[in-house]
Amino acid sequence: MLIDISIPLGAETVPWPGDTPFSCGWSGRIERGDSVNLTALTFSPHVGTHADAPLHVHSGWPASETLTVSAFVGPAVVLTVPTDYPIDTDLRIETLQAMLAAVPDATAIPGATSRILLRTGQSIAGGHFPTDWPTLAVETARWLVDQGLQLWGTDAPSADRRTSTALPVHHALLGGGANLLENLALTAIVPGVYDLIAPPLLVVGADAAPVRALLRERRPPV
């Protein structure tokens, strides 16, 4: 069974404060004599579920067309931040290790821990922009890269703090060769190992690309 973990992209989708929101206009309408209806879309690629390109945080780093599809497709572990975990506290290495240890088969399935999706519970899915959210500590992000992380995903609007301007987690992940998914819809997803299918659109020259993200429940071995 496929589970859609994408934030719907529309006029109601909450953008990052100050970013360009989604809008849909019309460049052609049958009612006014045109042969077809044609829409014209305007929005930041960071609205809704998206993949950040390294260019987002460094002008000399690669743009969206270089995002590797294979990193966004394959086994992935979904983790949940404990409900009593302070939302303004960074996730340390030992905390993340404990969360991984609590997921059956997370380390037994080859490649699963190379893609990690974090449910913080602080997302735009409810129609408002959260005030804060748990993020990786920088040393945790670097440790994950050293462990072979290909993809880090979060239901939060950013892998860094809302107030961060230096974006150290972005730099650690993207600069280390990992990929980044943001604004996932993970509210109904229980911790476990899934198959992730979330290739970014092949957008050229941008700092991010929209994503339709899906999870597929893994069948038990026969």
Which residues are part of the catalytic machinery? 56
State which H helix or E strand residue 215 sits in: strand 214-217
Give the Cβ contact number of residue 43 at 10 Å. Answer: 19
Which residues, at least 6 apart from 1, have a Cβ–Cβ distance to it below 8 Å?
216, 217
- C-alpha 145/C-alpha 1 separation (Å) is 30
Strand order, beta sheet including 192-197: 2-4, 214-217, 192-197, 73-80, 115-119, 151-154, 179-182, 50-52, 208-210
Closest CA to 210 of 88, 20, 43, 29: 43
Distance CA 156, CA 133 (A): 7
